């Protein structure tokens, strides 16, 4: 993720707001533009940075110029960035390994337990989430295989971690959201703030429909229920159990 990826992330949000009257609500950390570069096969990887720096510099300049042509107001200190990146290369070189071989050795060497922790919620998955209000990667169980390069037969127990109520940061569907004193109570007692942006999380009752949908995709072998104590002060706790479409109850997540 380069500095100009982060700058472009912000510019794209401004564009969406101007053109469509709404944005996606990204963290503006450059994740979307970086994945776009990857899909376009113009992205640069750590192995590129650590090999021929002249070739890396040429490709970096080409990528920067592509973004400048799309966003004329984008300012990029190319030489300054390259100097900084060259310094980073020497610092991280001793820590870089072939990820596939590293995981293979871990899986087939002396017996050990391997724990993989996912980032982001299942409904933020680029393919199975509430598109377009999602992240840019697969944060469901398949991401373990594609992200680490390990075969699916090595995935054992799958633990789903779920709060006793539902939260969301930014724009997107939220059927059980409580835009009232209940939502405010959950937000304040649960200290619900976005980790990256510091934005208030939207809060509502536990939605079993999306939990079931997440289970369909991930195949949970167990659930870890968190923050149940946040609900201690409530006389009544509600749970979303089904959705209706056109006045009729539907058995699936639409």
What is the number of other CB atoms lying within 10 angstroms of the CB of residue 223? 12
Annotated active-site residue in 28, 38, 68, 212:
38
Furthest-apart CA atoms within the chain: distance in Å: 66
In sequence order, which residues have a C-beta less than 8 Å from that of residue 66 and are 6 or more positions away? Answer: 42
In sequence order, which residues have a C-beta less than 8 Å from that of residue 60 and are 6 or more positions away? Answer: 2, 44, 78, 81, 82, 85
Range 87-109 burial, b when 16+ CB lie within 10 A, else e: eebeeeeeeeeeeeeebeeeeee
Tell me if residue 38 is catalytic: yes
228 near 237, Cβ under 8 Å?
Answer: no
Active site residues: 38
């Amino acid at each position: 993720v380069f500095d100009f990826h982060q700058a472009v992330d912000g510019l794209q949000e401004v564009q969406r707001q101007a053109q469509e009257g709404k944005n996606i609500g990204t963290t503006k950390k450059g994740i979307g533009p970086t994945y776009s570069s990857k899909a376009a096969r113009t992205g640069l990887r750590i192995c590129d940075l650590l090999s021929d720096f002249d070739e890396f510099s040429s490709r970096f300049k080409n990528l920067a110029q592509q973004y400048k042509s799309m966003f004329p107001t984008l300012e990029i200190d190319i030489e300054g960035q390259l100097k900084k990146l060259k310094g980073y290369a020497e610092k991280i070189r001793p820590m870089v390994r072939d990820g596939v071989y590293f995981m293979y050795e871990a899986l087939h060497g002396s017996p050990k337990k391997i724990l993989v922790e996912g980032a982001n919620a299942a409904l933020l998955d680029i393919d199975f989430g509430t598109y377009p209000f999602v992240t840019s990667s697969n944060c469901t169980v398949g991401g373990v295989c594609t992200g680490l390069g390990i075969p699916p037969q090595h995935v054992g127990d799958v633990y789903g971690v779920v709060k006793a109520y539902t939260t969301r940061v930014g724009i997107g569907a939220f059927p059980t959201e409580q835009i009232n004193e209940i939502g405010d109570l959950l937000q304040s007692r649960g200290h619900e703030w976005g980790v990256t942006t510091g934005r208030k999380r939207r809060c509502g009752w536990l939605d079993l429909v999306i939990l079931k949908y997440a289970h369909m995709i991930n195949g949970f072998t167990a659930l870890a229920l968190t923050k149940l104590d946040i609900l201690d002060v409530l006389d009544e706790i509600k749970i979303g159990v089904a959705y209706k479409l056109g006045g009729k109850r539907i058995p699936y997540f639409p």
